C-alpha cells in the first residue's frame, strides 16, 4: 500500500476499511507504546490500554471527527485514555479529566543512544541533565526529538499554544547547553 495522506487514511478508517485500520495501527502503535510507557512506567498496563485504545477507535470510528493530521489526535487521546485508566486503578476520585495533568517523562540510556540528536552527547551525564529538566520541558523534548512530531502537533498534544511550545523547547535546549558547558568547564579543571 502506497503512502497515504492522513486525511485519506482517517476517512477510510471511519468508513470501516480494515486495511486503513491496519496501517494506522502499524504506524502509530510503536510511537504510542513508547509514549504510554513514559506515562505509566508499566509495560503490561501500556500494552493493555493501547490495545483497548485502538479497539475503542475502531468501534467508535463513525462518530470520530474528520482530521487532516492524525498524530496529535492519537497522542492526545491516548494520553487521556491511559491517565484515566491509571487514575481509576489508583481509585482516586477525579471528576474533571480536562484539568492539567503533566506527565513526568524519564529518558533512558537506550533512547539516547538510538536518537541521532543526542549522538553529540556521548557523555553519560546527558540522562541526568535531561531528567533534571522541568516536566513540561521533558515532555516537549520527548515529543519533538523522540516521537518526531511537529511543533504544531506538540502544541495540540500538550494543550498549549504554538509559541509556548517553541519557548519551552528553547528553554530546555538552552538549559541543556548551559549544563553541558558547566560539565566541560569542570572536566577541563
Sign, CA dihedral 92-95-97-101, equals: negative
With beta carbons less than 8 A apart as the criterion, state whether 157 and 143 touch: yes
Report field, pTM of the whole predicted structure over 0.75:
no
Name the residue among 54, 75, 74 with its Cα closest to residue 65.
Answer: 74
Q: Please compute the mean of the pLDDT values over residues 21-48 and round it to a whole number.
A: 93
* pLDDT at 182 exceeding the cut of 80: no
CA atoms within 13 A on the CB side of 75: 26
Q: Which domains does the chain have, with CATH numbers?
A: 6-89 (1.10.1740.10), 109-188 (1.10.10.10)
> Among 19-23, 115-119, 127-131, where is mean pLDDT lowest?
115-119
Q: Please compute the mean of the pLDDT values over residues 47-66 and round it to a whole number.
A: 93
| pLDDT range class, residue 146, cuts 50, 70, 90 | confident
Angstrom distance (rounded) from CA 66 to CA 116: 34
Name the residue among 22, 79, 71, 15 with its Cα closest to residue 53.
Answer: 79
Amino acid at each position: 500500500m502506497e503512502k497515504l495522506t492522513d486525511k485519506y487514511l482517517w476517512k477510510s478508517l471511519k468508513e470501516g476499511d480494515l486495511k486503513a485500520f491496519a496501517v494506522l495501527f502499524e504506524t502509530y502503535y510503536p510511537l504510542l507504546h513508547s509514549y504510554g510507557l513514559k506515562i505509566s512506567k508499566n509495560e503490561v498496563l501500556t500494552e493493555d490500554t493501547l490495545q483497548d485504545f485502538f479497539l475503542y477507535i475502531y468501534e467508535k470510528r463513525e462518530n470520530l471527527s474528520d482530521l487532516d493530521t492524525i498524530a496529535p489526535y492519537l497522542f492526545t487521546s491516548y494520553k487521556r485514555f491511559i491517565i484515566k485508566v491509571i487514575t481509576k486503578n489508583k481509585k482516586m476520585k477525579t471528576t474533571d479529566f480536562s484539568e492539567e495533568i503533566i506527565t513526568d517523562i524519564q529518558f533512558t540510556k537506550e533512547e539516547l543512544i538510538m536518537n541521532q540528536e543526542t549522538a553529540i552527547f556521548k557523555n553519560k551525564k546527558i540522562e541526568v541533565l535531561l531528567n533534571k529538566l522541568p516536566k513540561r520541558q521533558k515532555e516537549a523534548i520527548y515529543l519533538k526529538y523522540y516521537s518526531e512530531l511537529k511543533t504544531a502537533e506538540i502544541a495540540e498534544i500538550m494543550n498549549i499554544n504554538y509559541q509556548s511550545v517553541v519557548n519551552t523547547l528553547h528553554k530546555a535546549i538552552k538549559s541543556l547547553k548551559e549544563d553541558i558547558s558547566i560539565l566541560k568547564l569542570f572536566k577541563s579543571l
